Amino acid sequence: MEFTEALQKRHSVRAFLPRPIDPQTLNDVLAQACLSPSWSNTHPYKIAVATGEVLEDLRKTLYARYIESAKLQRSGTLGKLKALITKSPGIPDGDFKPMLKYPKDLQKRRFECGLGLYATLGIDRKDIRAREAQMAENFRFFGAPAAVFVFVHGETGPYGPLDAGIYLQSLMLAATNAGLGSCAQGALGLYRTPLDKHFDIPPQYKLLCGVALGFEADLPVNRFQPEKITTQEMLLPLR
Ligand SMILES: Cc1cc2nc3c(=O)[nH]c(=O)nc-3n(C[C@H](O)[C@H](O)[C@H](O)COP(=O)(O)O)c2cc1C
């Protein structure tokens, strides 16, 4: 595939076919992502690859935890307090605090992106339950047959996550080139303990996000195309 074609073709896939990925294809995609540049060639990240039984267990556990979290969000102060005391599984235990609110100047693009996605799905903006159900699909990896979790070294300041971001893009482009769909998922950074159950993760590595990988289903949700930024919009003017 031409580089430009891969760049244009990559998009977030939020509905996958149950078809498994051939292990050789998955290995090739992961090997290509290793070609990413990083600060002083440190590659300050690790990955956990979930397929088969491990993936199914995570799909069940993470989904259940999110449903519990959503319930908690709707409960009053007393409910939240009780959840804290009883250490409810609904309480996120990820390594990084989720960005619930973006800075004001970025909020517009974020809002429009959410609005566009829900419109594609026929979900009314005010239908909190339907939005919650769509959000919950993140934790089932949108039906993908593989998920890659990305961990970053916790003592690298902003540079570790920067390198991990480059890796993430290489991974997704390599997936596109191999005929696979992908979706980067910050949502998968919410719960850490279900991953500790399956993977031996060194304590200095912090869960950043996940990426769902698989074959794209031919559904409207996968045709959602949020408007990209132009160079002009991000270009700083000369003084
Ligand atoms: C770091 C990162 C985290 C993301 N987290 C999520 C997520 O949790 N759920 C989701 O549906 N999409 C997620 N996305 C996908 C973005 O919404 C998507 O990239 C953006 O809307 C642009 O659309 P495109 O990927 O189709 O070009 C994430 C993307 C990135 C790069």
Is the CB of residue 113 below 6 angstroms from any atom belonging to ligand 1?
yes
Q: State the pLDDT at residue 10.
A: 98
Write the pLDDT tens digit of every residue in 180-203: 999 999 999 999 999 999 999 999
Is the CB of residue 84 below 6 angstroms from any atom belonging to ligand 1?
no
Q: State the pLDDT at residue 156.
A: 97
Q: State the pLDDT at residue 218.
A: 98
Q: What is the average per-residue pLDDT within 55-80? A: 93
C-alpha 165/C-alpha 190 separation (Å) is: 18
Give distance in angstroms: CA of 224 to centre of ligand 1: 12
Number of structural domains (the chain) is 1
End-to-end CA, the chain: 41
pLDDT for 76 beyond 90: no
Among 182, 150, 173, 127, which Cα is nearest to 14's? 182
Give distance in angstroms: CA of 80 to centre of ligand 1: 29
89: CATH: 3.40.109.10
Ligand 1, atom 19, residue with closest C-alpha: 12
**Strands lying side by side in the sheet with 146-153:** 45-50, 146-153, 205-214, 181-185
Residue 173 falls within a domain, yes or no? yes
Amino acid (1-letter code) at residue 132: E
Write the pLDDT tens digit of every residue in 197-232: 999 999 999 999 999 999 999 999 999 999 999 999
Residue 238 falls within a domain, yes or no? no
Write the pLDDT tens digit of every residue in 103-118: 999 999 999 999 999 9
pLDDT for 1 beyond 80: no
Q: What is the average per-residue pLDDT within 10-30? A: 98
pLDDT for 161 beyond 80: yes
Residue 146 falls within a domain, yes or no? yes
Residue 110: give the domain boundaries.
3-225
Residue 16 falls within a domain, yes or no? yes
Residue 189 falls within a domain, yes or no? yes
Q: What is the average per-residue pLDDT within 145-168? A: 98
* Mutate which of 106, 183, 190 for ligand 1 pocket (most atoms within 8 A of beta carbon): 183
Q: State the pLDDT at residue 86.
A: 87
Residue 155 falls within a domain, yes or no? yes
Q: State the pLDDT at residue 42.
A: 98
Q: What is the mean pLDDT of the chain?
A: 96
Give distance in angstroms: CA of 185 to centre of ligand 1: 6
Give distance in angstroms: CA of 211 to centre of ligand 1: 10
Q: State the pLDDT at residue 92.
A: 95
Atom of ligand 1 nearest to the CA of 117: 21
Residue 235 falls within a domain, yes or no? no
